[in-house]
């Protein structure tokens, strides 16, 4: 079932990417904070509902136990939201999601894992596809960065790439820690991890909302439809992600990272963005890697 959970996470986060892109506002200096509020709100609602429906006796201690993982995830996501003011998501997302390779390498080095040749080939194929997509996107002169006129000087500068690079490193470490907690050492159960993360994000959303009020920045819930849709898909993906990571983390991490490739494909379908032949070839390569993982599960 880990493969099904991983694929559901991948597609959910691809749709989340689509709505993050639609909701990106380049000239709103608190855009990333509004996104944190929406994601935290939806996750909090889901967390409370999930706890009540399943009758889970959640202990606040789990918030502390799982906090290192939650902190790295939330920090990396906030950095990613902030980066949307400077760089187009279709460029930053593939760079960010190279974190799956970082996680797989760390898990392979630190813990003893036996992988088949088919699994190794699949992981390498997916990872190279993600990196290749990032390279193609970055060098495609026909792409335009989401920048206001006064920020055009950053288009090829360090600031345009520092955000996805930071996301990649921090998220990779967070996913590695998550794998240790859920899979390698089983320090916490799936339900406890899910609720701890969602409640921590909810608390962050409360502080973010208070910050906006203190700064007298406008936040109107009914105007946050795109961010709300992104938050819904983000939360659905997180639900399946926890269960996937608890089963086969070293393979799941790079597989789920491929959602950036699907987000590019969804941009073509729903936002009518044009894709080059290179991008189509890369998508085909990543799909072949996913098929190889599926075959490794049944062989």
pLDDT-derived band of residue 144, with 50, 70 and 90 as boundaries? Answer: very low
> CA geometry: angle at 96 spanning 136 and 1, to 5°?
105
Strongest mean pLDDT among 136-140, 169-173, 295-299: 169-173
Distance in angstroms (rounded) separating the CA atoms of residues 5 and 241:
7
Range picked from 45-54, 88-97, 116-125, 239-248 for highest mean pLDDT: 45-54
Question: Domain of 144?
Answer: 2-298
DSSP alpha helix (H) spans, the chain: 2-23, 31-54, 61-65, 67-83, 89-96, 99-110, 117-139, 158-179, 190-214, 225-257, 259-270, 277-298
Q: Predicted confidence band at 44 (pLDDT cuts at 50, 70, 90)?
A: very high
| Beta-carbon-side half-sphere exposure of residue 244 (alpha carbons within 13 Å) | 23
Domain count, the chain: 1
pLDDT of residue 177: 95
* Neighbour tally for 219: CB within 10 Å: 15
CA distance 94 to 143: 14
Per-residue confidence (pLDDT) for residue 88, from 0 to 100: 64
Of the spans 44-48, 139-143, 277-281, 288-292, which averages the highest pLDDT? 44-48
């Amino acid at each position: 079932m880990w493969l099904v959970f991983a694929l559901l996470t991948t597609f959910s986060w691809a749709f989340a990417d689509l709505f993050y892109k639609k909701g990106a506002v380049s000239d709103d200096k608190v855009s990333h904070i509004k996104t944190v509020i929406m994601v935290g709100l939806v996750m909090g609602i889901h967390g409370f509902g999930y706890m009540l429906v399943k009758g889970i006796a959640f202990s606040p201690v789990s918030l502390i136990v799982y906090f290192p993982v939650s902190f790295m995830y939330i920090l990396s996501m906030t950095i990613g939201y902030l980066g949307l003011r400077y760089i187009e998501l279709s460029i930053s997302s593939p760079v960010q999601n190279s974190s799956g390779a970082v996680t797989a390498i760390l898990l392979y080095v630190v813990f003893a894992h036996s992988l088949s040749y088919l699994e190794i080939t699949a992981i390498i194929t997916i990872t190279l596809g993600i990196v290749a997509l990032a390279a193609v996107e970055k060098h495609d002169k026909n792409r335009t960065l989401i920048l206001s006129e006064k920020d055009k000087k950053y288009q090829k500068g360090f600031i345009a790439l520092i955000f996805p690079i930071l996301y990649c490193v921090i998220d990779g470490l967070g996913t590695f820690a998550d794998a240790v907690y859920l899979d390698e050492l089983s320090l916490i159960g799936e339900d406890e991890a899910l609720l701890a993360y969602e409640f921590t994000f909810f608390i962050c959303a409360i502080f973010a909302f208070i910050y906006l009020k203190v700064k007298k920045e406008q936040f109107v819930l009914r105007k946050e439809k795109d961010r709300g849709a992104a938050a819904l898909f983000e939360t659905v993906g997180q639900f399946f992600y926890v269960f996937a990571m608890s089963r086969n983390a070293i393979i799941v991490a790079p597989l789920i990272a491929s959602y950036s490739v699907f987000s590019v494909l969804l941009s073509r379908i729903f936002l009518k963005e044009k894709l080059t032949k290179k991008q189509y070839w890369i998508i085909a390569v990543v799909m072949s890697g996913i098929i190889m993982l599926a075959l490794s599960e049944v062989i």
